[in-house]
Amino acid sequence: MKFIHLTDTHVIGDGLLYGEDPGERLRLAVQSINTEHGDAEFVILTGDMTHWGDASAYVRFAVEIAKLKMPVHLMVGNHDDTSSLMQTFPDVPRDENGFVQNAFETPFGRFLLLDTVAEGTHAGAYCEARGTWLKRQLEAPGPVFLFMHHPPFAVGIKAMDAIMMHDAEPFYDVIAPHKARIRHLFFGHVHRAIWGNWRGISYSCMRALNHQVALDLDAPAERINGNFESPAYGVVLLDQHQLTVHMHDFADQSTRFQL
């Protein structure tokens, strides 16, 4: 099975963001996915669909994302606004408490899409109500794949670590009894391509589309340094024995040749 991990599109209603047009970046990403990976089963977008969370941005986002040839699963991030989102996408699944999280089955396991947004801050959270929902989803047998916007761990970039998911320990307490069944954790938020292992759980993060967070491990927590490294999305290949994540620099214009 192939699916696409897309994240942090940061679309705005009109104009430029840091001198670039995130709506145009999304258009190019969708075009690439359809052309190069049209056989993907679905796309999962792990949050920050828009930059300001306004209605006009969701309308523009909707125009571009609707061009995908396969289904898309939408998740919220700290730059999103659930009420504005629901005006444009009223059918996005929500749990019994109104959080934008849901679960669905695939031939290779259960996919759990989590809502880690905390009002009034760019940091993430996972409250008791969300934890109760997650406990219930984890009761189902079989392999599990977790998707979230905020990572529940530090990645070494101080400013991003300050706004990671702050309920990491209660969250881990929920998933720990099922750790052997959790095959991978996907997240966004950090605007970098990152792979690693957290307490025995493999994870990966993808670059954003409009702007990236620079790999500056010495910058203070008060400053986020950005750059325009190439936008990218993840191409995930999955079967019962293996998961492979490819980062695709879809806008790369370098010369291609036979080796």
Q: What is the mean pLDDT of the chain?
A: 97
Cα separation, 194 vs 156, in Å, equals: 11
pLDDT at res. 237: 98
pLDDT at res. 218: 97
- How do the domains of the chain map onto residue ranges? 2-248
Tell me the CA distances in angstroms from 208 to 1, 3, 111, 252, one per residue in order. 23, 17, 22, 14
Residue 236: pLDDT band with limits 50, 70, 90: very high
Dihedral of alpha carbons 149, 82, 175, 158, sign: positive
Residue 233: pLDDT band with limits 50, 70, 90: very high
Residue 97: pLDDT band with limits 50, 70, 90: very high
Q: What is the pTM assigned to this prediction?
A: 0.97
Q: Angle CA(209)–CA(2)–CA(8) in degrees, nearest 5?
A: 20
The model's pLDDT over 7-42, given as tens digits with 9 standing for 90+, comes to 999 999 999 999 999 999 999 999 999 999 999 999
138 Cβ neighbours under 8 A, 6+ residues apart: 112, 144, 174, 175, 177, 178
Closest by CA position to 153, among listed 216, 104, 198, 213: 198
Dihedral of alpha carbons 227, 233, 237, 243, sign: positive
Here the tokens at position 59 are 């309308």
Residue 74: pLDDT band with limits 50, 70, 90: very high
The model's pLDDT over 134-184, given as tens digits with 9 standing for 90+, comes to 999 999 999 999 999 999 999 999 999 999 999 999 999 999 999 999 999
Closest by CA position to 190, among listed 167, 211, 171, 175: 211
Does the domain spanning 2-248 belong to CATH 3.40.50.620?
Answer: no
